[in-house]
Structure 1
């Protein structure tokens, strides 16, 4: 019991530090900064990488085609080797919205050596936008594996958004207003993920909570920030900053491409901003635990740079920070050790209290807050499974592809 008291006090100290000293990560008021309409609306190319997305495309692509944007804009969907008719469906959806933004569908073929599929698709979408080859609805038969970056400067901005993300009609306009008003090179909104099924409600809000704990939005959004991150579902990127950072070529092997993108832009002098979205939503369902497990475990070990020592430290940290408090409270009450119970209870209370704002953001009941240790245990197991799959040669697997550790390709 003495060891448990030490562990409980250590956990309480960590939670006091996290609550007060980790960039107020638990607050959910990081929304788009003050914005106003620019004197001239910049041109924007919306690039959408898509692999086997026929199930969600009817709920997302029309929202892009229907963007109410005063400037010049186009949508470029890059079909990344889909087998479910994604490209044809995109064309039919565009035909059904004749007054919307023009759509181009590209099919660049299988990724080149050392490229992840998403970044390969983004490479070709950005190259097409910069080449100025037009925005009429078409398939580009010349966008094969050897297609390179476009020769021209292209649009002023690139909106990189996933195929499962639905945007409100004014989404692009608001992003551009924020970027131009604050002179930002990268503006990213973390789309509100779906939280409808039982497992989504238990795991999804915690996913964003843990992300904010690792990458506090306030730290990222400071003018002289040293912390960098983005949310890959919605990234408005100044084309000039992309060229300066050499993206996506400079991050072509990245599995966690959004964080790598933000670091590349920041490293080359770009100003970045990250916050929570109001009306940018993921429409992808994760109805089962298995679906969510695959979503998390495919990149969890990559987040730890495939390093066993970092894995061990992460597991120990999750146990100390999330599992010790309820264990100490229950054990202390059972053994009549009030000091153990108090230390564990206060740590658990801080944990639940900092989780409440994220639950409110996701319109979930406060009763889920005390269950955060259970959710953390699931994330611990997902992380360990991610490492196991990596050493079995099945790590970073997504939609039929498995990516090697950077440097191993």
Structure 2
């Protein structure tokens, strides 16, 4: 590397970071959070929580208990779909409900064999949702949650209040991921940071923007919205199912029954004395249905990632899927990660070693801007601020995980989860 090339690369990286900080949805602030706002509603809707569970016996005594003990005045039913577990998951779930004297509240289903074209989690969710429709009182909302999530006692109440008060079709939480081991502290906050950069939460929460995303560990969705898009089966083959579901819900064009929906909307507006001559997507109306995605400190995932290999496998499982299995997008991504994250410290060190002050200053300035952007996420997870300076090295590891994800896919080892391997026929969402 010569000084001129180093200077130009540093300036390019700095320009990108200025654009990211100033014009990319303020993603880095990590300020979209579910707060304990006023939750005294005039009416508490009926909720059905659906939990897909495959070999989760170790976590259910804590996570299922947290859901059954929700401080929620309305009617709450919990459906746990046992997805071919071999560790007694179903029995553990029943024992938890019996211990809490809430056996009437919990329904345990034995999942059917995985249907072709479905991922295991979505197939389990589909069965739970279908079963819920047969209950005496069909739910107003579905809470789609994972078996490793420990819910704060007020979580459901806050989610429902958020949805009701802001007329949201979907509310989702990026729950607090476990951050205890060395590798978790080093890599997990960056996972959340990169997710927010790909899907700026303020843009997700803006009904005038098309950006849509959700976090699959905790999704509250109205039954009407789920019916409108054609049910969970519309994303049945999506490995990144949470974001695919959010996109389907937010888009006004994604309607399984457009004529019936439009007629219902028109009748509602007529009942209210509103003008029905304009379409629901007129300029005066939001361009998209309203959804919301945010962070929370109080509801958390108990899924442990104690080693580099466990986090590596978690990322490599879907990273290439996110790129739609495209070699071209992989090359662009790798080059982009190098320019945005790796170039600044390399140029700073190169400039210092060669005595080129311009290159050193440009590289160091970009490195500090990068650390500044990462700092709110680091603080959210209660980690040492010094880790913000480690983002270039962290980004290098994530880049290698992404490349490995592609290699695994080409070797037909991609998309492995809970003993199942999903092929390219499963979409990215």
TM-score for both structures, normalised by structure 2:
0.88
SS of aligned partner of 1:64? helix
CA apart distance, 1:369: 0.7
**Residue 326 of structure 1, aligned match among 345, 352, 362:** 345
**Where do residues 145-224 of structure 1 align in structure 2 (5 Å cutoff)?**
154-224=138-208
**Residue 263 of structure 1, aligned match among 247, 252, 260:** 247
**Residue 363 of structure 2, aligned match among 344, 356, 359:** 344
Q: Assess if the C-alpha contact under 8 Å between 1:67 and 1:101 holds in 2.
A: no
Gaps of 5+ in 2: 255-287
SS of aligned partner of 2:116? coil
**Where do residues 95-106 of structure 1 align in structure 2 (5 Å cutoff)?**
95-99=98-102, 102-106=105-109
Corresponding position of 1:140: none
- Give the stretch that moved more between structures: 99-108 or 305-314: 99-108
Corresponding position of 2:75: 72
Q: Assess if the C-alpha contact under 8 Å between 1:35 and 1:178 holds in 2.
A: no
What is the rounded CA distance, in whole Å, between the counterparts of 1:230 and 1:400 in structure 2? 25
Corresponding position of 1:138: none
CA apart distance, 1:31: 1.3
Distance 1:69 1:184, change over 3 A: same
- Give the stretch that moved more between structures: 98-107 or 285-294: 98-107
Q: Assess if the C-alpha contact under 8 Å between 1:36 and 1:181 holds in 2.
A: no
What is the rounded CA distance, in whole Å, between the counterparts of 1:28 and 1:331 in structure 2? 33
**Where do residues 232-311 of structure 1 align in structure 2 (5 Å cutoff)?**
232-267=216-251, 268=254, 270-311=289-330
Between the two proteins, the alignment pairs up a number of residues equal to 389
- Give the stretch that moved more between structures: 265-274 or 310-319: 265-274
Q: Aligned-pair RMSD on alpha carbons? A: 1.4
**Residue 336 of structure 2, aligned match among 317, 332, 349:** 317
CA apart distance, 1:36: 4.1
Q: Assess if the C-alpha contact under 8 Å between 2:39 and 2:157 holds in 1.
A: no
Q: Assess if the C-alpha contact under 8 Å between 1:241 and 1:270 holds in 2.
A: no
Gaps of 5+ in 1: 134-152
Q: Assess if the C-alpha contact under 8 Å between 1:322 and 1:373 holds in 2.
A: yes
SS of aligned partner of 1:280? strand
Q: Assess if the C-alpha contact under 8 Å between 1:73 and 1:101 holds in 2.
A: no
What is the rounded CA distance, in whole Å, between the counterparts of 1:121 and 1:196 in structure 2? 30
Greater Rg over alpha carbons, structure: 2
What is the rounded CA distance, in whole Å, between the counterparts of 1:293 and 1:407 in structure 2? 21
What is the rounded CA distance, in whole Å, between the counterparts of 1:76 and 1:182 in structure 2? 27
Distance 1:99 1:252, change over 3 A: closer
